[in-house]
Amino acid sequence: MRVLVVEDDEELADTVAAGLRRAGMAVDVALDGGSGLERALCNDYDVIVLDRDLPVRHGDDVCAELTSAGTRGRILMLTAAATTEDLVDGLGLGADDYLPKPFDFRALVARIGALARRAHPAVPPVLRHGDLLVDTARRRAVRGTRALELAPKEFGVLELLLAASGRAVSAEELLERVWDEATDPFTNAVKITVSRLRANLGDPPVIETVTRGGYRI
């Protein structure tokens, strides 16, 4: 799952990003509305966590423009104000959810997960293929009766491959959706992660390499 955090309080933004990464998400950070809008329009995010009171471009403007552009990512607006009027205004601009500050971090993670499952196309909370089951809400993977101990990137790759329903997913798409923008585009991280994932999944193999196409379940 790839998330963009747009928050002008750098300390809060870094804290939120670090926590979301520990929860297994790939996270990019923007510290003003202008750079946040640019990133959101150029990259394929599952969820955009958008502070409302931003410099350069106000969060309301960013939300309205992303909605008008038909952005795939779901928008979770944050604000220090928590009145019903603020809630109605935010949702009216196209936000998918609204969370007042200060917030409980567990609630933030839960809401991001719920919004990601509503992204286009929607991802079911539980993905299955044969004896392989992935619970995206609880971040749990099982094959047969064996619980799989997967690293965050391995889980992200497996989730994306299962959600593709047999479609080949390129290494470039995996890199874009599971890693963040700081990742070297020429890295062999995808190949290494898929290799480790295959080893953890065991036999019979379920991940197929598609020549010049990537990988598929």
59-79 pLDDT tens trace = 999 999 998 888 888 999 988
Do 89 and 22 sit in the same domain of this protein? Answer: yes
Question: Domain boundary residue among 116, 137, 168?
Answer: 116
Identify the bridge partners of residue 26 per DSSP, sorted by sequence position: 2
146-205 pLDDT tens trace = 999 998 889 989 999 998 888 999 988 888 888 877 677 667 889 999 999 999 999 999
Do 105 and 158 sit in the same domain of this protein? Answer: no
Do 149 and 93 sit in the same domain of this protein? Answer: no
In a domain, 110, yes or no: yes
Which stretches does DSSP call E strand in the chain?
2-6, 26-30, 47-51, 74-79, 97-100, 126-129, 132-135, 140-143, 146-147, 208-210, 214-216
Do 36 and 111 sit in the same domain of this protein? Answer: yes
Note the pLDDT of residue 141.
94
Do 130 and 211 sit in the same domain of this protein? Answer: yes
Place of tokens 């379920």: 206
* CA 135 to chain centroid: 15
In a domain, 144, yes or no: yes
Do 130 and 105 sit in the same domain of this protein? Answer: no
91-100 pLDDT tens trace = 677 888 888 8
Note the pLDDT of residue 1.
84
Note the pLDDT of residue 34.
96
Q: Is the pLDDT of residue 211 over 70?
A: yes
Please give the residue range of the domain that contains residue 177: 126-216
User: Structurally, how many domains does the chain consist of?
Assistant: 2
Do 112 and 36 sit in the same domain of this protein? Answer: yes
Its pTM surpasses 0.75:
no
38-48 pLDDT tens trace = 999 988 899 99
SS3 4: strand
Q: Mean pLDDT for the chain?
A: 88
Length of the chain: 217
Question: Domain boundary residue among 98, 116, 134?
Answer: 116
Q: Which pair of structure tokens corresponds to residue 207?
A: 């991940």
Do 82 and 47 sit in the same domain of this protein? Answer: yes
Looking at the chain, the whole-number percentage of residues with pLDDT higher than 70 is 91
Do 164 and 184 sit in the same domain of this protein? Answer: yes
Question: Domain boundary residue among 50, 84, 116?
Answer: 116
